Structure 1
Amino acid sequence: MLIAYAENSAPFPPNVWDGYLCRLPNEHREQVLRYKFREDAQACLYGKLLLLRCLEELGIGHLRLEDLRYTSHQRPYFNDAAIDFNISHSGKFVVCAAANNIRLGIDIEQIKPVAVTDFKEQFSDDEMRLIQSDDGSFVNFYNLWTKKEALIKADGKGLSIPLKQVSVIGAGGVVGVVGEEHQQRRHQQPVIIENRSWFLTEINISEGYCCHLATSEMITEGLRVRRFMF
């Protein structure tokens, strides 16, 4: 399993931007260019570039963006391979998780002030109490939110699954990352969604961000986290 990430802070020089766009199929190039703001367009482009890097690293570089298909819930997948992948971006980071024979979802969020009461319909009473007990850092909110988002992205049914019914307090393990090294720090407690078990792992990408990975199997080894430069 590979989690690839990149920092989306400085804009690409025009020649580099054009060069990467030319590598994309028309449909994907048009998707990037539909974004109004360059930062969002570049995040979308980074996601595609990271996915291609993941395919290469996992030994299935023969797959192309043209091979992507979409479920009825608009979740992308490759029809002729066991690989699964998921992409997320927030602030200055874009992440792509990919693996063979494991279903997964990933979500990253920049930690910043948010009106937590606007989200009370997405959290249980216990979760709201935990969020409101925070010291004003909003860490509890984003910790729970990225867990829920990663889970529903892994499941693939999106917001048709009520977030309030996805209980995540106490679920998850932590992966500490130094380069490509990782260490499982505590046992992963599963989350059950429609009689299916999912496992959560917190991924430490950068200070000021919260990131969680949801997988259909418990991750005990073989997880790599790599930063890519473009």
Structure 2
Amino acid sequence: MVVIQYIRFKKQLPEKVFESYMNLLPEKDRQNIRRFLRWQDREAALYGRLLLASGINKYFKDSNLTLHNIYLNEWGRPFFKDSEIDFNISHTDGCVVCIITNEGRVGIDIELIRAIDTEGFQKYMDALQWQEIAGDSSCTSFYKYWTMKESLIKAEGRGLSIPLSDVKIDTKGAAKLYGHRWHLTEVSIDRRYMCHAATDFSIEDGIQILEVFFP
């Protein structure tokens, strides 16, 4: 099973509501969230944890799967200890996504499509990708390849210690990194965003994608 839950938000939560949600989290999560200076970043981090908790509770019944049992590997990637469940969280302006599975490794990346000077990113793309990006004034092609690469890097688990240029994407929605094959899936949430999920397994039964509204 592969589940993606997401939430879109525009306005800052009332302080009492924010604090009531914060009280649902472990102390270490509350401390990390309060370090963010912008309310948008604080609430994105909060929603990420809430999405993970609600997804686990609804789709993956396991008493060991709680926010208190999340650890970080040496590169800072979060994981559940002694569990087959894997997850990943990403956020951009106004949207947070969380992917959860019991089938293998997963990663996800979402970006708001907006104008950007792409010149500095040429070194991360191959020649054909860059040709497509250079001919696309909407920047959609840039965000397509960027979220593909980022989602795979996040799934692999070593983060930015791996150069994005080492991710080799083919024309069939797959990629290779150091000889290992990964599957890439575009996630349709909102036409304002580009989002991709990476898995180290073929998704046979599709992905459940659900928008969540917290009371």
TM-score of the alignment, normalized to the shorter chain, above 0.5:
yes
Deviations 1:4-59 (A, max 9, x none): 00012121122111101111111100111000000110000000000001111223
**Equivalenced residues, count:** 212
Instruction: Give, in angstroms, the shift of residue 168 of structure 1.
Output: 2.0
Structure 2 counterpart of 1:59? 60
Deviations 1:132-191 (A, max 9, x none): 011x1111000000000001001111122221121225242xxxxxxxxxxxxxxxxx31
Structure 1 counterpart of 2:129? 127
Equivalent position to 1:196, from 153, 156, 180:
180
Matches within 5 A, 1:23-172: 23-60=24-61, 62=63, 63-134=65-136, 136-172=137-173
Give the conservation status (yes or no) of the 8 Å contact 1:200–1:214. Answer: yes
TM-score (norm 2): 0.95
- Segment drifting more, 156-165 vs 58-67: 58-67
Instruction: Give, in angstroms, the shift of residue 60 of structure 1.
Output: 2.7
Structure 2 counterpart of 1:228? 212
Matches within 5 A, 1:4-23: 4-23=5-24
SS of the aligned residue for 1:55 comes to helix
Give the conservation status (yes or no) of the 8 Å contact 1:8–1:42. Answer: no
List runs of 5+ in structure 1 lacking aligned partners. Answer: 173-189
Instruction: Give, in angstroms, the shift of residue 61 of structure 1.
Output: 5.3
List runs of 5+ in structure 2 lacking aligned partners. Answer: none
SS of the aligned residue for 1:19 comes to helix
C-alpha separation in 2, matches of 1:68 and 1:171: 34
RMSD: 1.2
Give the conservation status (yes or no) of the 8 Å contact 1:68–1:79. Answer: yes
Give the conservation status (yes or no) of the 8 Å contact 2:168–2:177. Answer: no
Instruction: Give, in angstroms, the shift of residue 196 of structure 1.
Output: 1.4
